Every structure is written in C-alpha cells, then in structure tokens.
Amino acid sequence: MKVIHQITAGFRRGDAISEEALLLREVFRNNGCTSELFCDGATIAENMRNEVAEISKLPTIVQPEDVAILHLSIGSRVNQVFSSLPCKKVILYHNVTPAEYFERLNPPMAQILEDGRKQVAALADVADVNLAVSAYNARELEEMGYKNVKVLPLVIDASFGEGLIDGAMYSLLKDDGCKNILFVGRVVPNKRHDKLLEAFSYYQHYVEPRSRLIIAGSSVGQEAYKSLLLGSVHTLELQRVYFTEFISSAELNACYKAADVFLCLSDHEGFCAPLLEAMSWQIPVCAMARAAVPETMDGAGVLFNDASPAEIAEALNEVIINQPLREKIIAKQDERLARFRNRDVWTEFVGLLGE
C-alpha cells in the first residue's frame, strides 16, 4: 500500500471521528504512505480547511491500487462518492444513532439519521474490507447484511491525560470546594442528560449539597433538547449545573482535571471515547452498561444495569469518599488504558486488511 486516503462526513476538532482520522493519517504517513483526508466541503469546520479536501476532488486523483477508507457514521453524499470510487475500499463503521431519539425534539435530524441507516445498509456489498470500531458496531453491520466484519478499536491520542490546562476554568470549578461530577459529550437525546440530572438531583439534595454537575459538550442544532434540560434543572431545583458548550482543549483538560468522578448514563454509544479520556486523567468512571460501553470499559470502572437515581447517587458518593475503593478503581482503569495504549495500530490495520 502506497496511498491510503480517508473520507469523513464532517470534520472538526474535538469530534472523535475527526480526531481518529488525523491520528490514522499520521500512522499511515509514518509508514511511508501518501495519505489525505476528504470530506463534504459544507461540513468542514472553518479552522480545519487546511487539513481536509473537498470530497469531489478524490475521484479525479484516486488510482486502482489506492486504498480509500470511509468513516461511516451518518447519511452523507460522501457515502455515494465512496461507493463509486475505482480503488480498493474499506469501511470503518462508527455507528449511526437510532433516529427514534430525535423524532420528537429534532425531526430533521431524525430524518438524516434514518437516511443514514438506509445508506449504511446499501453499502453492504461495496467495500473490499468491512471494519467497525467496536464489536457492538460489527454486530450491527452483520445484521444489515455485511459479511466478515472485523474490529479495529477506535484510535485515540495516547498522550491524552496531559497537555495545557486552562487556569481560569480550573479555578472556576475547583476553588469553591464543590464535588464535581463530569460528563463529556454532545448534548443530544441518546446521551440521556435527563438521567444525569435525575441522579445529580438525588446526590445534591440528599448526599452532598456542595456539588456541581459539569456537562461538557456542544448543543448546537439541539437547542430544543437543551431547553428541555434547562427546564428540568429549574423543576428539580438544582444548583451549579454547568453547560460548557464548545470549549478549547485546554478548557476541556481543566474539566477533567477538576472532576471527582465521571458519570455516563448514555443509552447509545458506538464506542464512547470520553470514557477512556476520563481514565487517562485518573478519574473514576461510572457508566450505564448500554450499547458499546461495557466493551469500551473492558472490566474497568463501575457499571450500572438498571440502577435508580438514588442508587447511582449513593454509588457516586462511595467512589468519591472511599479512598481505598477509589484507588482500586483507578488502578483497574490504568490496566485497561494500558491495554488500549500499547497498540501497534499499523500492524493491526495491515493484519485486518489481509491480502
């Protein structure tokens, strides 16, 4: 392989798929390959236009012996372009969120996701190699008719857990002595921020009044959902619920650094990179055992099955105040993180492609 190009539906910093594509491009280039990124020009963030090319350019330069990787995650015109490319083709599936989560609050998004599911199914016989970032995602592809699906776990930055920390953000979150519960991810219905608020309500009202819930993620395009959440904050009489919206890497680092525990109650995740990011910052992770989350956790952290808000809140408190338990959880997370970081991604990739 001399040329390996990647295709994404959208591109912006902080997005897990975009970040993986950048890391894979580095891996490919370090192993002697020409490698570029291509995307629908309308969905490239302005500050990333020097990194990514418009997808319409790819068919004019690709050669039969080249490899094109489609990061498949949503309905997009790049999927049709990919299917017509005259080269070797690889699909890397990141999951399409079920449309049902958006039907009431964001019908246009629900339609995009429904169209995306149809496009995924239509690509079942297009690629030479079908990959998924988790076994959970691989099973979804197989249910849609894909054959011989293999798993290439999401590639994340091995240096995460380091880097600049925004001093102002850290002081804002830490100087008042409150216990900080953190969740990182887009403000979208499938991530069940409503459940976060319910668990935090019990925690703040009955366990630790001096507490804060940090919701680090953008709500752009999901304003109706955020309005619903803000209404719940008022109804539940909660204090110190902090929606960060879009923040810089240094500000996100400050959120991780200031957190006492990471809580994820999401219903649907194809992988959930923030779970590993939290582990890298030595934060105990508590999460609902849904979709690909147990696979990503891989025996680490604390998993809930059908726990009530009260049970979750009491568990959070135990993880925060019980120092021996906290150290045991972090040690187990370190073991899981080491297994993930000590990877030879190039060898994994070549092995999955076979001949």
| pLDDT attached to residue 1 | 65
Lookup: tokens for 69:
């990787």
Confidence of residue 42 (pLDDT cuts 50, 70, 90): confident
Q: How many CB atoms lie within 10 A of CB 354?
A: 9
> pLDDT digit string (tens) for 112-158?
899 889 999 999 999 999 999 999 999 999 999 999 999 999 998 87
Q: Which residues contact 49 (CB under 8 A, 6 or more apart)?
A: none
> Cβ distance 134 to 16 under 8 Å?
no
> pLDDT digit string (tens) for 156-195?
887 777 889 999 999 999 999 999 999 999 999 999 999 9
Cα 264 to chain centroid, rounded: 12
Comparing CA positions, the residue from 203, 189, 153, 327 lying closest to residue 265 is 189
Comparing CA positions, the residue from 6, 173, 178 lying closest to residue 89 is 6
Confidence of residue 2 (pLDDT cuts 50, 70, 90): very high
Q: How far apart are CA 283 and CA 272, in angstroms?
A: 15
| pLDDT attached to residue 340 | 86
Lookup: tokens for 57:
């350019």
Find the range with the poorest average confidence among 54-58, 72-76, 160-164.
Answer: 160-164
Q: How far apart are CA 238 and CA 197, in angstroms?
A: 8
Residue range 4-155 forms a domain whose CATH class is: alpha beta
> pLDDT digit string (tens) for 223-234?
999 999 999 999
Q: How many CB atoms lie within 10 A of CB 234?
A: 9
Q: For residues 336-350, give the mean pLDDT.
A: 91
Q: How far apart are CA 251 and CA 169, in angstroms?
A: 6
> Cβ distance 55 to 41 under 8 Å?
yes
What's the order of all strands across the beta sheet hosting 179-184? 241-243, 211-216, 179-184, 261-264, 285-288, 302-304
Lookup: tokens for 218:
């953008």
| CATH 3.40.50.2000 residue spans of the chain | 4-155, 167-340
Lookup: tokens for 297:
């956790």
| Alpha-carbon distances of 109 from 140, 193, 233, 262, rounded to whole Å | 21, 18, 25, 28
Confidence of residue 355 (pLDDT cuts 50, 70, 90): low
> Cβ distance 10 to 39 under 8 Å?
yes
Question: Which residue do the tokens 């919701």 mark?
Answer: 215
Q: For residues 308-331, give the mean pLDDT.
A: 97
Asked if the model's pLDDT at residue 296 lies above 80, the reply is: yes
| pLDDT attached to residue 161 | 77
Asked if the model's pLDDT at residue 13 lies above 90, the reply is: no
| pLDDT attached to residue 346 | 94
Q: How far apart are CA 146 and CA 197, in angstroms?
A: 38
For domain 167-340, the CATH superfamily is: Glycogen Phosphorylase B; (3.40.50.2000)
Kind and range of the H or E element at 30?
A: helix 16-30
> pLDDT digit string (tens) for 298-315?
999 999 998 999 999 999
Helix 223-235 and helix 193-202, axial crossing angle in degrees, nearest 10: 10
| pLDDT attached to residue 333 | 97
| 3-state SS, residue 69 | strand
> pLDDT digit string (tens) for 203-243?
999 999 999 999 999 999 999 999 999 999 999 999 999 99
183 phi, psi to nearest 5 deg: -130, 135
Mean pLDDT of the chain: 93
| pLDDT attached to residue 129 | 96
| pLDDT attached to residue 160 | 77
Report the percentage of the chain scoring pLDDT > 90.
84
